[in-house]
Amino acid sequence: QKADYRACMKKAFQRYAIELIACADLRDSEIEKQFFADSKFHFENIGRTVIETFQMPGYELDKTDAVIEPSYVCEALGLQGRLDYMQRDMLSFIEMKSGKADEYAIQGKIEPKENHRVQMLLYQAVLEYAMDMDHRKGKAYLFYTRYPLLYPARASWAMVKRAINLRNRIVADEYGVQLHSSIEYTARKLSEINSETVNERGLTNVLWARYLSPPIDGFAKKLQALTPIEQAYHYSLYNFITKEQYTTKSGDTDYEGGRMGTASLWLSSLVEKCEAGEILYDLKITENRAADEHKAHVVLSRTGSISFSEDMPEALPNFRAGDAIVLYERNEDTDNVTNKMVFKGNIEAITENDIKIRLRAPQRNPAVLSADSLYAV
């Protein structure tokens, strides 16, 4: 079925009605016209790429056997990511960008931006460490819809190491802030944010001098302009937020008496998850409406005799309508969120026997969520 631009825009307005109504820029008639012109331009480029480029030799892209927005959690690297498009065999995937590529690095040639290349490399690393997919065999593409350009991303493990090292340094700083939880320590740490410290590459070009450096130094100037009481409040609030975020990501067991946050997905055992009411498993899909364009969903039922309604005394009380969840296949005891493809969604309804999950992304390929598999939530 050929995609229709008007129908697509209607869906966009249904899904993002508040965001579009509240957008001040769209109140300008000229900007509004340009917005719709750009939207149609990108839409047509995407359609042409799927119809024409996907069929070209060497790309190995088949839209009839695709997965939309699958997520992965990699315990080894401490990363999680969501891909825009992936073949079901996980050998080819696409990350879509509506912005500009690097138009200035090489004269007369369009190249991916470095941050986009790093993002793709980290996706490849996650698939290798979490799903055992050899990065040398896979094909990763950056899709710049503006041009359009489907750019093959080449693996560079040296760049992956640099990215992970930078991430680890950031985590180390966050760990120090939440560990000390001290106004003096945080003030000293934030005082290190200046253009001289951040410019590790020794950049001297116009981009750095005119656009990147001033706002970095402006941060320190704004802090210095605060009164002592305002500074103390800022550092205290920063400490609190950093502690909350670090605990959520690390699953600190000494904080509030147990595992918490995203980290519990891989730090907690099956027994611990069951005791805490954080997992439903051995579920079968009894109604698959994952392909529905509006409100795509699946209904799953327990295969055993134990119910999981929030009203039952033996049930799992931590599941409520509206909760954000992850859904994945669990056919073996070794299957878990770190070695299976993950789909994100929300609980729309939960009864004594069934749980209805609204998927964040529709799945037109019926093989993606097989009726023969067992699932965990």
Q: What is the pLDDT of residues 113-158, one digit of tens each?
A: 999 999 999 999 999 999 999 988 889 999 999 999 899 988 889 9
Query: Can you tell me the distance from the alpha carbon of 329 to that of 307, in angstroms, rounded to the nearest whole number?
Result: 20
For residue 36, pLDDT over 70 is answered with yes
Residues 243, 297 within the same domain:
no
Q: Is there a domain that residue 59 lies in?
A: no
282 and 245 part of one domain? no
pLDDT grade, residue 307 (50/70/90)?
A: low
Residue at 220: amino acid letter: A
243 located within any domain: yes
206, 222, 250 — which closes off a domain?
A: 250
The pLDDT score that the predictor gives to residue 62 is 93
Tell me: do 210 and 240 sit in the same domain: yes
Look at the chain and report how many structural domains it folds into.
3
Structure tokens belonging to residue 45 = 């480029």
What is the residue range of 309's domain? 268-376
Q: How confident is the model at residue 305 (pLDDT cuts 50, 70, 90)?
A: low
* Phi and psi angles of residue 157, each rounded to the nearest 5 degrees, phi first: -65, -25
**Beta-bridge partners for 71:** 82, 342
> Residue 72 above 70 pLDDT?
yes
- In angstroms, what CA-CA distances link 345 with 8, 69, 77, 213? 21, 11, 24, 40
Side-chain-facing half-sphere of 271: CA atoms under 13 Å: 0
Q: Is residue 367 part of a domain?
A: yes
Q: Of 223, 250, 277, which closes a domain? A: 250
Contact 87, 93 (CB under 8 A): yes
CB atoms within 10 A of CB 127: 23
Q: What does R_g of the chain's alpha carbons equal in angstroms? A: 24
Does residue 292 form part of some domain?
Answer: yes
Residue of 175, 157, 155 lying closest to 77 (CA atoms) = 157
CA 363/CA 70 separation, integer angstroms: 10
Best CA proximity match to 251, nearest among 225, 280, 217, 276: 276
Query: Looking at the domain assignment, is residue 173 inside a domain?
Result: yes
Q: Are residues 236 and 299 in the same domain?
A: no
Contact 283, 374 (CB under 8 A): yes
Which domain CATH number covers 372? 2.40.30.270
In a domain, 335, yes or no: yes
Residue 272 has a pLDDT of 85
Residues 273 and 338 in one domain: yes
b/e code 171-206 from CB counts within 10 Å (16+ = b): eeebeebbeeeebeebeebbeeeebeeeeeeeeeee
Q: What percent of the chain stands above pLDDT 70? A: 93
Residue 21 maps to a domain? yes
In a domain, 325, yes or no: yes
Report d(CA 116, CA 122) in Å as an integer: 10
- pLDDT for the residue 108: 81
